[in-house]
Each structure stands twice: as C-alpha cells, then as structure tokens.
C-alpha cells in the first residue's frame, strides 16, 4: 500500500476566476475526468474524525484512499482495488484493504456500517510549476458545480508564500473551502 503526506493549499473560485487561471496556465491543456466515490457510515463517523475514505475512479481504474489528518497536511493511505461496490450498498469488510481496516479500527470506526454514499466528478487540469503542482478543478455533484484551485507542495512554509503570491498575481481573493468530501456531504445533507 502506498502512503504519502499531502500538503496542499486550496481556494474556491468563481467561474470567471477559473477561466482566467485556465487561460493563463492551461491554455493548451484538456482536463481529465475522475470520480470520487465516498464511503462513510450513515452517522458520518469517518468525516466526524476529519478523515475521508474514497474510491477514485479514473480511466476505469480504482484506487481506495484513506486520508488521516496530521499536524501539517494529511497522511494518505492508497490501495489499488479491482472493482467499485454498488452505490448505497453496505461494504463487505473483505472489500477493504487490510491496512485501511486497521487504521479505521484504531479510530473506532464501525467497519460493518460502511456504505458507498455517493460520488463527485471532477474535470481536472494539472501543471508542475516551480514551487509545486498547480491543480484546477471543475467539480459536479448533486446538481452543484464548483471551481477550485489546489496547490500541492512538499514544504508548507514555502508553499504558503508561493500560493499567496499566485492568488495576488491573478487578483483572486482568498476563499478557503471545505474539502470536497465535506462539501459533498453538506450538500447531500441539505437535499435530504
């Protein structure tokens, strides 16, 4: 299983801001599509601990990721899986990779209550720049569209400076978003 520390900065964008960044950094690029399928208990035990469990589907490949908050960033546990469980279904605990099961057990997450609760599709553009990976997302979920700029770095302090400079250069005001899984579950809660 792969494990990596994710340090990223995020900013919600208006469609106009999205288009300005797209034109400036991604003029010749086409976005790729990925869908995040979110897993939690009906009581949202995972997100309640500020963690996230998802299966990312990209080009008919599936990767399960558990994100666990750290002092700085998130520790990601990644595992390639063979298939996608049915939406709304209870996950068979045999479906979960062993290491992810161990971490969920350490956090007292009731494994037998895990369900695939919904999905969010993102059209993503990525570009390496001098100080990190610039990511431009257009996401759709539950009848909602949103736009987001992400900046993935290896050094928090240098990344913060570079990200703030980028926002200033592009004349974009700071609008720090909740993460995608929280936005999805908040929207789902409003519709039920």
- Give the CATH number, domain containing residue 136: 2.40.320.10
- pLDDT at position 1, please? 59
3-state secondary structure of 117: strand
Query: For residues 127 and 44, what is the distance between their CA atoms, to the nearest angstrom?
Result: 34
Helical (H) or strand (E) element with 118: strand 115-129
pLDDT value of residue 165: 96
Tens-place pLDDT, residues 148-185: 999 999 999 999 999 999 999 999 999 999 999 999 99
CA atoms of 58 and 47, how far apart (whole Å): 23
Number of domains comprising the chain: 1
Question: Which residue, among 163, 167, 185, 170, has the nearest Cα to 51 in the 3D structure?
Answer: 185
Dihedral sign (CA 126, 144, 10, 78): negative
CB atoms near residue 28 (< 10 Å): 4
The span from the CA of 18 to the CA of 96, in Å, is: 36
pLDDT at site 3? 84
Determine the pLDDT at residue 93. 79
> What residue ranges of the chain have pLDDT lower than 70?
1, 192
Q: Which domain holds residue 63?
A: 2-191
């Amino acid at each position: 299983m792969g494990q990596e520390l994710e340090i990223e900065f995020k900013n919600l964008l208006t469609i106009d801001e999205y288009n300005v960044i797209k034109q400036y950094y991604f003029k010749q690029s086409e976005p790729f599509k990925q869908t995040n399928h979110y897993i939690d208990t009906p009581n949202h035990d995972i997100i309640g601990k500020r963690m996230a469990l998802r299966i990312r589907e990209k080009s008919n490949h599936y990767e399960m990721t558990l994100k666990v908050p750290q002092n700085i960033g998130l520790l990601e546990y990644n595992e390639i899986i063979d298939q996608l469980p049915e939406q709304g279904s209870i996950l068979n605990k045999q479906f979960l990779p062993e290491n992810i099961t161990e971490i969920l057990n350490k956090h007292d997450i009731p494994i037998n209550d895990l369900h695939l609760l919904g999905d969010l599709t993102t059209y993503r553009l990525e570009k390496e720049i001098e100080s990190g990976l610039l990511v431009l997302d257009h996401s759709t979920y539950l009848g909602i569209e949103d736009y987001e700029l992400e900046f993935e770095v290896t050094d928090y302090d240098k990344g913060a400076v570079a990200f703030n400079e980028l926002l200033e250069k592009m004349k974009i005001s700071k609008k720090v978003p909740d993460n995608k899984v929280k936005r999805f579950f908040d929207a789902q809660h409003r519709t039920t």
